[in-house]
């Protein structure tokens, strides 16, 4: 893992992986793209080139799908114990190479190297998914006279996965794990902004002897590579994590091709409600961490806070201090940096456009509001207060360290405003009144609700996914296999 040695500033800055993989991982081998085209990935801290990576297009997708098709019969025929063996060895290999993975995520998406949380979580989740191979089971029924009826859960065959850039390894594992555990083979496209850690997983799969073609990892853009996966006639299921706009395009492509099953994990604009009796000593750090972790580039970030007017002055003062102190920004390769830059110039410009909007509309900005430093895509931790409910900053996912804080007078008003969004990924409430907490949790329109805690609080055995336009389907938990298997009813006449 990110070791004690790595916690020493010198060794972190000095760390260099032996080699940065730039090829595509198809059929167990690293190969250049058929077109020979490459694209550049920049370090968002230094704005310097980090790597030039081969770009997959529809021809490479075809090749990967063919490899996955060839691998499927043998892989799906393995016993669960054998598949568990491979996945556990892969988890061990990821754990043993955590420094390299953390380094590559630091230089591509700016994730603090010391924050090896997402790498640890990836390992933990993979071990959980590995065990799910034993849970691919059906039901039986004696309810029809002279029959025994049973259901079978069976893999789809070749599945697709498309991941975002914000937590690259974890998002890959959340697809790879249940896909392979249930006997599918996979063609996965990583994000063009942070493809390097995904390619390491390909190398580790090779090292542990995963059969060729079971896992294929492509680097490339949404178009043409992602689109080719979404349209592919031989892919029967596609799991996507990313923006609502891309999710919509993917469902359309699936509908217009082979109506493949599509699960979507999309964006959020998560509300956090703080009642007058809340323990502010807990609520303030939770609210601050929720919006600043990963530089606000978190689908579950609590980006809208509703605080009861009786405690709003005290809350604002505490929150201002916490926003300034809790997660200091800096070079992700240095210890002490808890918050990196935005992933790239496009994302930086997008976040800054919301800050410009706030200024142009004379919104209150009690904390931050601008660029941090002159090199690297850093944005100041920012708070916008009392923005109109229908303003851009309240309605759209900013995906940066920018939180909106508004006040409310009563519970009904707080709930109405919290739910007045097309998103529904995560919601939180802080109160000491347990009846109110549960009443509010029941009414909040979100796939996950935190009571006296905030996002990213979640657990691998709890389902994760979005209501409304935040998604379709669930990841993690005992339900995860349901989304990676077809269900068959078998009627046995006695
Ligand atoms: P994005 O939608 O721009 O890209 C995600 C992936 O989709 C990338 O690999 C991209 O290349 C690909 N893609 C883009 N257009 C495509 C198309 N037309 N067809 C096929 N593939 C296409 O999202 P992003 O900027 O990488 O990630 C940020 C978004 O992801 C945010 O909205 C965030 O909330 C969301 N997200 C959601 C979750 C979740 O679990 N719900 C987790 C992380 C991120």
Burial class (CB in 10 A: 0-12, 13-18, 19+), 103: buried
pLDDT at 141: 98
Q: How far is ligand 1, taken at its centre, from the CA of residue 422, in Å?
A: 17
C-alpha torsion sign, points 220, 225, 229, 230? positive
Q: Are strands 426-430 and 448-451 parallel, antiparallel or unpaired?
A: parallel
User: In this structure, which residue's CA is closest to atom 41 in ligand 1?
Assistant: 265
Q: How far is ligand 1, taken at its centre, from the CA of residue 172, in Å?
A: 12
Q: Give the atom of ligand 1 at the shortest distance from the alpha carbon of 245.
A: 2
Cβ < 6 A, ligand 1 pocket: 162-166, 189, 191-192, 221-223, 226-227, 230, 241-243, 246, 249-250, 265-268, 299, 397, 399, 425, 466, 471
| Six token digits for residue 433 | 């009144």
Query: Tens of pLDDT along 205-262?
Result: 999 999 999 999 999 999 999 999 999 999 999 999 999 999 999 999 999 999 999 9
pLDDT at 18: 86
User: In this structure, which residue's CA is closest to atom 23 in ligand 1?
Assistant: 242
* 5, pLDDT greater than 80: no
* 6, pLDDT greater than 90: no
Query: Tens of pLDDT along 271-321?
Result: 999 999 999 999 999 999 999 999 999 999 999 999 999 999 999 999 999
Q: What is the mean pLDDT of the chain?
A: 96
pLDDT at 402: 98
The secondary structure of 9-64 as a DSSP string is HHHHHH---S----SEEETTEEE--TT--EEEEE-TTT-SEEEEEEPP-HHHHHHH
pLDDT at 7: 47
Query: Tens of pLDDT along 462-471?
Result: 999 999 999 9
Q: How far is ligand 1, taken at its centre, from the CA of residue 16, in Å?
A: 29
User: In this structure, which residue's CA is closest to atom 17 in ligand 1?
Assistant: 222
* 387, pLDDT greater than 80: yes
Please pick, among 55, 192, 265, 475, the residue that the annotation labels catalytic: 265
Q: How far is ligand 1, taken at its centre, from the CA of residue 490, in Å?
A: 38
* 11, pLDDT greater than 80: no
Which residues, at least 6 apart from 324, have a Cβ–Cβ distance to it below 8 Å?
Answer: 367, 381
pLDDT at 14: 74
Euclidean distance between CA atoms 239 and 64, whole angstroms:
16
Q: Is 265 considered catalytic here? A: yes
The separation between CA 332 and the C-alpha centre of its own chain, rounded to angstroms, equals 19
Taking the C-alpha atoms of 341, 399, 381 and 355 in order, what is their torsion angle to the nearest 10 degrees?
A: 110
Q: Give the atom of ligand 1 at the shortest distance from the alpha carbon of 299.
A: 34
User: In this structure, which residue's CA is closest to atom 20 in ligand 1?
Assistant: 226
User: In this structure, which residue's CA is closest to atom 11 in ligand 1?
Assistant: 222
User: In this structure, which residue's CA is closest to atom 3 in ligand 1?
Assistant: 243
Average pLDDT over residues 359-369: 98
Q: Are strands 140-141 and 147-155 parallel, antiparallel or unpaired?
A: antiparallel
pLDDT at 453: 98
Q: Which residues of the chain form CATH 3.40.309.10?
A: 270-451
Average pLDDT over residues 34-59: 98
| Six token digits for residue 140 | 């039986």
Q: Find out whether the peptide bond into 150 is cis, omega within 30 degrees of 0.
A: no
Confidence grade of residue 74 (pLDDT, cut at 50, 70, 90): very high
Q: How far apart are the first and last CA of the chain?
A: 57
Cβ-contact 94, 119 below 8 angstroms: yes
Q: Which residues of the chain form CATH 3.40.605.10?
A: 24-266+471-493
Q: Give the atom of ligand 1 at the shortest distance from the alpha carbon of 249.
A: 18
Query: Tens of pLDDT along 82-114?
Result: 999 999 999 999 999 999 999 999 999 999 987
Tell the CATH superfamily of the 270-451 domain.
Aldehyde Dehydrogenase; Chain A, domain 2 (3.40.309.10)
Average pLDDT over residues 4-27: 75
Euclidean distance between CA atoms 328 and 485, whole angstroms:
44
Average pLDDT over residues 336-342: 94
* 445, pLDDT greater than 60: yes
Q: How far is ligand 1, taken at its centre, from the CA of residue 347, in Å?
A: 13
pLDDT at 3: 41
Q: How far is ligand 1, taken at its centre, from the CA of residue 371, in Å?
A: 24
As a CATH number, domain 24-266+471-493 is 3.40.605.10
Which residues, at least 6 apart from 118, have a Cβ–Cβ distance to it below 8 Å?
Answer: 105, 111, 167, 169, 170
pLDDT at 462: 98
């Amino acid at each position: 893992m990110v070791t004690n040695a790595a916690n020493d500033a010198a060794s972190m800055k000095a760390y260099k992986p032996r080699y940065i993989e730039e090829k595509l991982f198809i059929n167990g081998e690293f190969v250049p793209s058929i077109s020979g085209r490459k694209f550049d990935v920049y370090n968002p801290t230094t704005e310097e080139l980090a790597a030039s990576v081969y770009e997959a297009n529809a021809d490479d997708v075809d090749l990967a799908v063919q490899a996955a098709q060839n691998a499927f019969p043998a892989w799906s025929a393995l016993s669960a114990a054998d598949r568990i063996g491979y996945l556990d060895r892969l988890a061990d290999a990821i754990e043993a190479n955590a420094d390299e993975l953390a380094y590559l995520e630091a230089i591509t998406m700016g994730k603090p190297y010391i924050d090896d949380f997402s790498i640890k979580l990836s390992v933990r989740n993979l071990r959980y998914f590995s065990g799910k191979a034993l849970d691919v089971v059906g039901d039986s029924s004696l309810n029809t006279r002279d029959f025994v009826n049973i259901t079978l859960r069976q893999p789809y065959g070749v599945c697709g996965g498309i991941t975002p850039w914000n937590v690259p390894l974890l998002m890959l594992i959340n697809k790879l794990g249940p896909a392979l555990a249930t006997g599918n083979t996979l063609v996965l496209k990583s994000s063009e902004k942070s493809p390097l850690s995904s390619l390491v997983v390909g190398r580790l799969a090779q090292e542990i002897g995963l059969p060729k073609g079971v896992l294929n990892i492509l680097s490339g853009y949404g178009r043409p590579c992602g689109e080719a996966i979404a349209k592919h006639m031989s892919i029967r299921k596609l799991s996507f994590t990313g923006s609502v706009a891309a999710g919509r395009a993917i469902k359309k492509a699936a509908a217009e091709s082979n109506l493949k099953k599509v699960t979507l994990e999309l964006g959020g604009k998560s509300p956090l409600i703080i009642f007058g009796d809340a323990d502010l000593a807990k609520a303030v750090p939770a609210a601050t961490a929720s919006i600043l972790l990963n530089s606000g580039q978190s689908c579950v970030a609590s980006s809208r806070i509703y605080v009861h007017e009786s405690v709003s002055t005290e809350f604002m003062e505490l929150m201002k201090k916490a926003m300034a102190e809790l997660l200091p920004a800096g070079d992700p390769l240095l210890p002490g940096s808890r918050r990196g830059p935005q992933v790239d110039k496009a994302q930086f410009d997008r976040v800054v456009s919301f800050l410009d909007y706030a200024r142009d509309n004379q919104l209150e900005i009690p904390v931050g509001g601008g660029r941090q430093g002159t090199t690297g895509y850093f944005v100041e931790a920012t708070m916008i207060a009392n923005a109109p409910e229908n303003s851009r900053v309240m309605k759209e996912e900013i995906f940066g360290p920018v939180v909106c804080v508004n006040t409310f007078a009563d519970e009904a008003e707080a709930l109405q405003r919290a739910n007045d969004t097309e998103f529904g990924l995560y919601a939180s409430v802080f109160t000491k009144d347990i009846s109110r907490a549960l009443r509010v949790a029941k009414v909040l329109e979100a796939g996950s609700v935190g009571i006296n805690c905030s996002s990213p609080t979640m657990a691998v055995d709890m389902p994760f996914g979005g209501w409304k336009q935040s998604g379709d389907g669930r990841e993690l938990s005992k339900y995860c296999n349901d989304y990676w298997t077809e269900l068959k009813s078998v009627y046995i006449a006695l």
